Amino acid sequence: MKIRSTLAIGVAAAAALALTACTGGTAGGGAAGPVHTSGELSGTVQFQTWSLKNEKFTPYFEDLITAFEEEHPDVQVDWIDQPGDGYQDKILSQANSNTLPDVLNLPPDIAFPLVTAGKLLDLDKADPSLADKYNEGGWEAYSQFSGVEGTYGLPWYLGSDESWWNMQQLEPYGVAEESLPTTSDGWLDLAKQVAADSAGKVKVVSSMPGVDTFVSAGIKIMDDDSTFVFNTPEAVEIVQKYADAYKAGAMPAESLTGSYGGNAEMYLQGKVAYATGGSGFAGDLRTKAPTLLEHTVATPRPGTPPLFVQGLNVSADSKNKAAALAFAEFATNQENQVAFTKLAVGFAPGTAEGTDEVMDAVSSNLDPAQVKAMQVMFGALKDAKATPFQWTGAMTDYLNQQMALAIRGDATAEETLDKIVQHANDNRIDK
């Protein structure tokens, strides 16, 4: 009897502890208030990057930290770098244990749960003069968290996608560089024509439609209440066109289980004559498939180009907010961002100005294909739009699974989109 009651108490205690085990944050929006960085700063600032401690970038960061410490002799910056894999899990564990670094690198989608848990500093309130200094799209990406006011990251470096065409595979079927399609419809029509002419040997569609496809087509992804609403007749039409292209032999079977990076990989292997990728893809071509590079042409992506944003954020729990914010501003000022993106070839600075400076500096050291790719991407940035950060990785997984059925013709485009939207709304991050 005694054993049974002891066991019951033990289990109850364990249950109570378990129930509290994963509550790491305070509910609600981020901490706010002005933070003055102009006075004397002192103390230690922990600065965390994401897979950037290597031969290429380490000297840059060491110089950056030295320069900041010279400006603020009483501040010491401790730089830590996290490996590329498992970054989200690492952030989660840091946030749960209240050990987030003072300044850290988070893209908007990873930042969002931390913002809702009140773990990041509202930078707009901390220093209202910042907004004008940064790229508008990049600033917006950290300012439009549903249900939370404020801005929670400083745009650091930006990227976008463009279209890559293998002209060696396409020219035999009458496709010339000058006549490459500039619209999604034109591209899908071309894909079907080339597939028919080549008896399915040359494939021009390398991935399934995703949310970025719908963003690119100007379809509204969410309403004002942050409810997903992209199951529109226009989206149905797009999915049906992809299904028709698959049926015509214009898509490799592997694209139905492929990841975002998979389409570029298939291009490198010569399995497809078209891919999407950032301007850095020219560098991949040069090292992994140099013979392909000379036959490759980069053009702007049809429709609204996607915007990929990386930023620096300040922990709301930082014991040294003033020095942390000062360092985040210093690392993301125009001079330092330009210096960084000269090394991170293929990316643009997240500041309002500076892209021309980067272009001028790097163009003499790059081959013409890469220069052209960068010009195309930098030109696209002004119109580029980020995928809503409420769209999570798990939603993408579900979308890919269901979309594959629609493309294969195992489900209708309408049913598929309804299911995807229903699933996304059932699993909304802000609910």
Partner 1 sequence: MKSHRWYTPWLLLAPPVIWVLVFSLWPFINTVVLSFTDARPLQPVNPVGFAHYERLLTDEQFRYALITCLIYVVVCVPLLTIVPLLLALLVEKNIPGIALFRTTYYFPVIASVVVVALIWGWLFDSRGIINQALEWMGVVDQPVAFLVDRWWLLATAILLTVWKGIGYYMVVYLAALGNVGKELHEAAMLDGAGAVRRFISVTIPSVRGAILLISVLVAVSAMRVFTELDILSNGTGGPGGYDMSIVMLIRQVGSGLNGNLGYAAAISVALFLLTLVPLVAIALLNREKKAKVPA
Length of the chain: 431
Q: What is the DSSP letter of 131?
A: G
Q: What is the DSSP string of 89-114?
A: HHHHHHHHTT---SEEE--HHHHHHH
- How many residues contact partner 1, by CB under 8 A? 50
Q: Does 243 contact partner 1 by CB under 8 A?
A: no
Q: Does 210 contact partner 1 by CB under 8 A?
A: no
- Residue 219 tokens read as 């379809």
CB of 372 to partner 1, least distance (A): 30
Q: Does 248 contact partner 1 by CB under 8 A?
A: no
- Residue 271 tokens read as 């399995």
Measured CA to CA, the distance from residue 185 to residue 44 in angstroms comes to 55
- Give the nearer residue to partner 1 in terms of CB position, either 51 or 93: 93
Contact yes or no for 101/313 (Cβ under 8 A): no
Q: Does 259 contact partner 1 by CB under 8 A?
A: yes
Measured CA to CA, the distance from residue 427 to residue 36 in angstroms comes to 39
CB of 151 to partner 1, least distance (A): 19
SS3 222: strand
Q: Which range in 7-15, 216-224, 357-365, 369-377 contacts partner 1 by CB under 8 A?
A: 7-15
Residue owning tokens 């493309």: 407
Q: Which range in 12-20, 52-60, 172-180, 182-190 contacts partner 1 by CB under 8 A?
A: 12-20
CB of 81 to partner 1, least distance (A): 20
Q: Does 22 contact partner 1 by CB under 8 A?
A: yes
- Give the nearer residue to partner 1 in terms of CB position, either 233 or 393: 393
- Residue 96 tokens read as 């749960």
Contact yes or no for 177/185 (Cβ under 8 A): no
Residue owning tokens 């013709």: 409
Q: Does 410 contact partner 1 by CB under 8 A?
A: yes
Q: Does 262 contact partner 1 by CB under 8 A?
A: yes
Sheet of 162-166, strands arranged across: 274-277, 162-166, 296-300
| Contacting partner 1 within 212-241 (CB under 8 A) | none
Name the phi and psi angles at 392, rounded to 5: -100, 170
Q: Does 414 contact partner 1 by CB under 8 A?
A: no
Q: Does 51 contact partner 1 by CB under 8 A?
A: no
Q: Does 393 contact partner 1 by CB under 8 A?
A: yes
CB of 174 to partner 1, least distance (A): 25
Q: Which of 153, 252, 277, 354 binds partner 1 (CB under 8 A)?
A: 252
Q: Does 52 contact partner 1 by CB under 8 A?
A: no
What Rg do the C-alpha atoms of the chain give, in angstroms?
Answer: 24
Contact yes or no for 46/78 (Cβ under 8 A): yes
Q: Which of 392, 412, 414, 415 binds partner 1 (CB under 8 A)?
A: 392
Q: Does 92 contact partner 1 by CB under 8 A?
A: yes
| Contacting partner 1 within 266-305 (CB under 8 A) | 271
SS3 315: strand
Q: Does 405 contact partner 1 by CB under 8 A?
A: yes
Residue 319 sits at the vertex; the CA angle it makes with 313 and 324, to the nearest 5 degrees, is: 40
Footprint of partner 1 (CB under 8 A):
11, 14-15, 18-25, 27, 88-89, 91-92, 95-96, 110, 112-114, 116-117, 119, 200, 252-254, 256-259, 262, 271, 392-394, 397-398, 400-402, 404-405, 408, 410-411, 427, 429
